[in-house]
């Protein structure tokens, strides 16, 4: 039997849930398929110890419904994974979203039919659904990357990935735990695992920068103040003065023309406050290497002050431009290396040779381990989309269309894949913003576009090849005006062997929002509407 609907949504995280709600409000019939057994997406899968958002909870939450904003009470400045998941479960119940979601239902293929202008979706659990529109709400960081290390299959202990963490708590007491990877996930998990494990061995390939999160409980009075001014706060977050979709205060001076003592005071103040504000202390930090060096050097001095063993501190010194990989926020990460039960292995000096049945053998030693935790990130932005067999016009596989890297227009549409929209896709600001604001924006834009199509009798919406080519150039030009493309980050696809190097997210959320509004107001130029 084929399920017939208007819009098929893939994924029930922040994006998919809001897509169901927004599209239903316009009277569309929606069917959503979700691979997990519950809602939540990122926050369903990433249950590792210490998992916490790096955007403030009062901003990393939906703004589309005022009563939801007023009713929900966040307990901490930066919400932990369990609280965010509870929030999304609440949203699913509050807006009765579950009735349109099929859980444990991984989409395997999506095929467009030129004759009927319909998409057919097939899932691993045997469902076939057909709809006019396809909304990919599959997440930017959802396809877990486990490195192909020799011998991995022989390991007799437990193998875990931060992005696929089991539902039941993992008991690390008395265990020797190896953690591979020191990005945002590793930096959050390592201190928490070290509190329980007998020994933690951290395998670090590239040292990274991290700024204290300074997480804290949110007192009642502060929340009351936020709730009394929520609309203004959200508007500030979206304004050009922030660039990030959250109120992170942007400095207005250049670091290079600020006297050294004043510059140091500003860095110190932002370090004390914690959060991403550190990297926006001055206007030139992410565009001028000499300015960036000043901020990087400040963080390196902080690491040296915290880590007692000078050899370990040396190994933890990052050298790339700060911010060119996603800046990490931590709670006691560098301090963890002062613990007697934590050891750092610098893979540049001593690379992993193979995983053995009982641990890891590096070029210089064998380390016995009971658990192996991969905090090795994701095949970002394209991984989840390309894991499905998506076929557009004339059966064109998306994998083929994107062989040299993803090509989208506005991050929303793909040439030759009519009536398919991506939420927070490559070419959109997504991961360079407060994701929830970006998601709400995309979903509303897509909803408005579909409503327009229905009103105008349009059955097919397709980004043009030239618009997408221009957009890819635009994204890469904007990125090239910053230091963002200067290191081997997942923004560039550099973390996945063989992945084409194309800078995927677009810096500058407010400018992007304006551009999308202009496109819509002018007959959706860059799209063919027929
Ligand atoms: O993944 P990552 P993540 N051998 O790709 C290493 C968001 N997030 O899951 O740098 C050895 O950043 C890799 O080394 P290198 C956030 O946007 C947010 O930590 O490639 N090591 C790196 O150290 C973030 O940016 C939050 O040399 C290998 C690590 O694994 C994004 O998700 C929390 C390796 C991967 O770091 C991804 O973060 C968590 C190999 N073969 C995540 N392969 C918050 O909100 C990879 N590595 C706070």
Q: For 249-273, how does the pLDDT look when each residue is reduced to its tens digit (9 = 90+)? A: 788 999 999 999 999 999 999 999 9
Instruction: Tell me which residue has its CA closest to atom 9 in ligand 1.
Output: 377
φ, ψ of residue 54 to 5 degrees: the values are -105, 15
pLDDT higher than threshold 90 for residue 486: yes
Q: Is the pLDDT of residue 530 over 90?
A: yes
Helical residues (DSSP H) of 218-306, grouped into ranges: 220-228, 230-238, 260-273, 289-306
Which phi and psi angles does 179 have, rounded to 5°? -115, 120
CA distances to 124, 189, 377, 394, 503 from 381, rounded to whole Å, are 22, 23, 12, 25, 11
Of the candidates 369, 31, 359, 327, which has an alpha carbon nearest to the alpha carbon of residue 177?
369
* Rg (the chain; Cα; Å): 23
Question: Do residues 30 and 23 make contact, with C-beta atoms less than 8 angstroms apart?
Answer: yes
CA distance linking residue 482 with residue 259, whole number of Å? 23
CB count in 10 Å sphere of residue 274: 19
List the structure tokens of 1. 């039997």
| Ligand 1 center from residue 339 Cα (angstroms) | 23
Q: Which atom of ligand 1 is nearest to the CA of 46?
A: 39
pLDDT surpassing 80 at residue 238: no
pLDDT at 6: 98
Distance CA 29, CA 99 (A): 12
Over 80: is that where the pLDDT of 289 sits?
yes
Pocket test for ligand 1, best of 151, 185, 323 (most atoms within 8 A of CB): 185
- Complex ipTM value: 0.99
Facing residues of 367 across strands? 360
Candidates 144, 205, 206, 504: which one to mutate for ligand 1, based on the most atoms within 8 Å of Cβ? 205
Is the pLDDT at 241 greater than 70? The verdict is no
> Computed from CA positions of residues 11, 15, 16, 19, in that sequence, does the dihedral angle turn out positive or negative?
negative
Q: What are phi and psi of 188, to 5 degrees?
A: -80, -40
Confidence of residue 248 (pLDDT cuts 50, 70, 90): confident
CA 49/CA 204 separation, integer angstroms: 19
Arithmetic mean of pLDDT over the chain: 96
Q: What pLDDT, on a 0 to 100 scale, did the predictor assign at position 237?
A: 78
Exposure string of 278-314, with b = 16+ CB inside 10 Å and e = fewer, is: bbbbbbbbbebeebbebbbebbbebbeebbeeeebbe
- Closest residue (by CA) to atom 16 of ligand 1? 184
Q: Provide residues with CB under 6 Å of ligand 1.
A: 52-54, 141, 147, 162, 180-186, 188, 205-206, 326, 329, 347, 375-378, 431, 490, 495
Q: Which residues contact 407 (CB under 8 A, 6 or more apart)?
A: 401, 414, 415, 427, 468, 469, 472
Given a cut of 80, whether residue 317 has pLDDT beyond it is: yes
Atom of ligand 1 nearest to the CA of 148: 41
Q: What is the DSSP letter of 250?
A: P
Burial label for 236, CB within 10 Å (0-12, 13-18, 19+), is: middle
CA distances to 22, 419, 466, 516 from 445, in Å = 10, 14, 21, 8
What is this structure's pTM?
0.97
Write out the H or E segment, with its range, that includes residue 511.
helix 509-521
- For residue 319, with 0-12 CB atoms within 10 Å meaning exposed, 13-18 middle and 19 or more buried, which class applies? exposed
* pLDDT of residue 242 exceeding 80: no
The per-residue pLDDT for range 114-150, each reduced to its tens digit, is 999 999 999 999 999 999 999 999 999 999 999 999 9
| Cα 422 to ligand 1 centre (Å) | 23
CA distances from 63 to 5, 8, 59, 348 (A): 28, 24, 8, 45
Q: Taking residues 316-343, what's their average pLDDT?
A: 97
In terms of Cβ atoms closer than 10 Å to its own Cβ (0-12, 13-18, 19+), residue 216 is exposed
Angle at 375 between CA 371 and CA 380, to 5 degrees: 145
| Beta-carbon contacts of residue 495 (< 8 Å; ≥ 6 apart) | 145, 376, 377, 380, 488, 489
- Å from CA of 185 to ligand 1 middle: 6
Q: From CA 114, how far away is CA 74, in angstroms rounded?
A: 47
* Distance from C-alpha of 51 to C-alpha of 145, rounded to nearest angstrom: 17
Of all atoms in ligand 1, which is nearest to the CA of residue 182?
A: 23
Task: Provide CB contacts within 8 A for 221, sequence distance 6+.
Answer: none
- Which of 377, 379, 491, 492 for mutating ligand 1's site (highest number of atoms within 8 Å of CB)? 377
Pocket test for ligand 1, best of 52, 244, 495 (most atoms within 8 A of CB): 495
Residue with the smallest CA separation from ligand 1 atom 13 is 181
Closest residue to atom 35 of ligand 1, CA basis = 376
Percent of the chain, pLDDT > 70? 99
* CA of residue 302 to ligand 1 center, whole Å: 22
Compute the average pLDDT of residues 475-498: 96
CA of 427 to the centre of ligand 1 (A): 21
**Cα gap 271→259, rounded to integer Å:** 18
The DSSP H or E segment spanning 30 is strand 30-33
- CA of 180 from ligand 1 middle (Å) equals 9
Q: Which residues contact 394 (CB under 8 A, 6 or more apart)?
A: 114, 416
* Span 82-91, pLDDT tens digits: 999 999 999 9
For residue 328, give the ligand 1 atom closest to its CA.
48
Among candidate residues 105, 103, 111, 112, the one with its CA nearest the CA of residue 127: 105
Q: What is the pLDDT of residue 247?
A: 75
- Ligand 1 atom with least separation from CA of 181: 30
Rounded Cα distance between 118 and 459, Å, is: 9
For residues 383-395, average pLDDT: 98
11-69 tens-digit pLDDT:
999 999 999 999 999 999 999 999 999 999 999 999 999 999 999 999 999 999 999 99
Q: Measured in angstroms, how far is the CA atom of residue 448 from the centroid of ligand 1?
A: 35
Q: In the prediction, which pLDDT does 240 show? A: 65
């Amino acid at each position: 039997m084929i399920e017939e609907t208007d819009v098929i949504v893939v994924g029930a995280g922040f994006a998919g849930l809001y897509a169901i709600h927004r599209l239903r409000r316009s009277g569309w019939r929606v069917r959503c398929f979700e691979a997990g057994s519950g809602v939540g997406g990122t926050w369903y899968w990433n249950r590792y110890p210490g998992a916490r958002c790096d955007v403030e909870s009062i901003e990393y939450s939906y703004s589309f419904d005022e009563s939801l904003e007023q009713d929900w009470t966040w307990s901490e400045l930066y919400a932990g994974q369990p609280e965010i998941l509870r929030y999304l479960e609440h949203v699913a119940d509050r807006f009765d979203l579950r009735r349109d979601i099929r859980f444990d239902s991984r989409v395997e293929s999506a095929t467009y039919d030129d004759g009927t202008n319909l998409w057919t979706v097939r899932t691993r659990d045997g469902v076939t659904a057909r709809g006019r529109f396809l909304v990919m709400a599959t997440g930017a960081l959802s396809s877990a990357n486990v490195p192909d290390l020799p011998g991995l299959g022989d390991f007799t202990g437990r193998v875990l990935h931060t992005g696929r963490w089991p539902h039941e708590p993992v008991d690390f007491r008395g265990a020797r735990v190896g953690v591979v990877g020191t990005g945002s996930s590793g930096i959050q998990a390592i201190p928490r695992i070290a509190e329980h494990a007998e020994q933690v061995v951290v395998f670090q390939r590239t040292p990274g920068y991290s700024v204290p999160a300074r997480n804290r409980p949110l007192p009642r009075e502060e929340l009351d103040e936020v709730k009394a001014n929520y609309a203004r706060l959200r508007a500030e977050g979206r304004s050009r003065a922030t660039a990030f979709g959250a109120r992170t205060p942007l400095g207005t001076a250049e670091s290079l023309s600020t006297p050294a003592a004043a510059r140091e005071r500003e860095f110190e103040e932002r370090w004390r406050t914690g959060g991403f504000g550190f990297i926006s202390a001055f206007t030139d930090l992410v565009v001028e290497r000499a300015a960036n060096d000043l901020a990087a050097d400040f963080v390196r001095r902080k690491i040296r002050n915290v880590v007692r063993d000078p050899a370990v501190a040396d190994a933890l010194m990052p050298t790339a431009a700060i911010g060119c990989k996603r800046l990490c926020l931590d709670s006691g990460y560098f301090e963890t290396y002062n613990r007697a039960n934590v050891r750092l292995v610098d893979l540049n000096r001593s690379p992993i040779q193979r995983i053995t049945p009982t641990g890891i053998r590096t070029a210089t030693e064998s380390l016995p381990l009971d658990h192996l935790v991969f905090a090795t990130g994701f095949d970002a932005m394209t991984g989840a989309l390309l894991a499905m067999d998506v076929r557009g016009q004339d059966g064109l596989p998306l994998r083929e269309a994107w062989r040299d890297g993803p090509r989208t227009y506005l991050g929303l549409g793909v040439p030759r894949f009519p009536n398919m929209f991506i939420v927070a896709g490559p070419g959109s600001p997504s991961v360079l913003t407060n994701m929830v604001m970006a998601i709400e924006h995309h979903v509303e834009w897509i909803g408005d576009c579909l409503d327009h199509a229905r009103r105008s009798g349009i059955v097919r919406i397709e980004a043009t090849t030239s618009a997408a080519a221009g957009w890819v150039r635009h994204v890469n030009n904007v990125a090239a005006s910053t230091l963002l493309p200067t290191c081997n980050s997942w923004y560039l696809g550099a973390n996945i062997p063989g992945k084409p190097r194309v800078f995927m997210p677009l810096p500058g959320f407010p400018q992007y929002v304006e551009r999308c509004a202009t496109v819509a107001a002018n007959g959706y130029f860059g799209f063919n509407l027929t």
